[in-house]
Amino acid sequence: MTSIISGTELAGDLAGPRPPVVLDVRYTLGGPPGRPEYDAGHIPGAAYVDLDAELAGPPGPRGRHPLPDLGVFGAAMRRAGVFADRPVVVYDAGQGWSAARCWWLLRYTGHPDVRVLDGGLAAWPGELSRTPPAGAAGDFAPVPGALPVLSADEAAALARRGVLLDARAGERYRGETEPIDPVAGHIPGAVSAPTAENLAADGTFRPAADLAARFRALGAAAGTEVGVYCGSGVSAAQEVLALEIAGIPGALYPGSWSEWTADPAREVATGAEPG
């Protein structure tokens, strides 16, 4: 099973005997929420999932998008029609960040069959609908632990013994600018690996061989312990997905830079080198 699906493949699956549950997770950092976009047109049968309210906990010392309360997340998935034994396809507006966050959470909590629509909504070849789904509530009960996660201390240790990838834009890694969090720079020892470089010009993921070569050049390959962080744990999930496409397991640091910088005692590196 692959972790991404094309629009043509999704259309075929939806017309087949065992159609997947489809989740719309369109989201823009800082707003506005994606619900109006969903209401204006979505893949037929798709249910809307709110990233801030259902795929993250309240912002605080654990970061801007800490992992959600499992009760809240499980209720949201059941409301959206997610069943433990039925495939799920997740999409967003095309960058893959918020869709990958939902993909990662479902995989992390034990769902065995989740894919991201490669290229987002723009890859959908059919018409859009304004009608919300009328399916029954699902039965998915999340149980955490199926994918690896890192605490702040574990991320720092991994940067010393393995490869810790920083998925943010290069200028934020280097400390040249920081538009959101209170301190600019990166975790000492982390390697710059912006998520934009995981995608082709059309917004789809680069081929697996290209991704594997990219990560290999950054020091990450099969057999290497790899972790990923970003600003708040959302775009880093897209990098974990890209690593999986490349055949490289990766652990997510959910708190990411927003949690790291919440503690002024933690060291910060700047410049183009890991430090």
Using pLDDT thresholds of 50, 70 and 90, give the confidence band for residue 1. Answer: low
Which of the pair, 270 or 134, is modelled with greater confidence?
270
Using pLDDT thresholds of 50, 70 and 90, give the confidence band for residue 29. Answer: confident
pLDDT averaged over the chain?
A: 96
pLDDT of residue 161: 96
**Interatomic CA distance for residues 275 and 269, integer angstroms:** 6
What are 82's two structure tokens? Answer: 């997610």
Structural contact between residues 109 and 144, judged by C-beta atoms closer than 8 angstroms: yes
pLDDT, tens digit, for every residue of 204-248? 999 999 999 999 999 998 889 999 999 999 999 999 999 999 999
Amino acid identity of 25? V
Strands (E), the chain: 4-5, 21-24, 47-48, 88-91, 114-117, 163-166, 191-192, 226-229, 251-252
pLDDT of residue 159: 98
41-45, 179-183, 246-250: which range is least confident on average? 179-183
Query: What residues are annotated to the active site?
Result: 230
Token pair 């290497």 is found at 224
Structural contact between residues 123 and 6, judged by C-beta atoms closer than 8 angstroms: yes
pLDDT of residue 48: 97
**Interatomic CA distance for residues 99 and 160, integer angstroms:** 30
Q: In this model, does residue 26 exceed pLDDT 90? A: yes
Token pair 């009328």 is found at 134
pLDDT, tens digit, for every residue of 56-113? 999 999 999 999 999 999 999 999 999 999 999 999 998 899 999 999 999 999 999 9
pLDDT, tens digit, for every residue of 186-207? 999 999 999 999 999 999 999 9
pLDDT of residue 16: 95
Question: At residue 86, what are phi and psi to the nearest 5 degrees?
Answer: -125, 135
Q: In this model, does residue 11 exceed pLDDT 70? A: yes
Alpha-carbon distances, residue 216 vs 148, 156, 228, 247 (angstroms):
20, 21, 15, 11
Alpha-carbon distances, residue 125 vs 10, 90, 99, 122 (angstroms):
9, 16, 18, 8
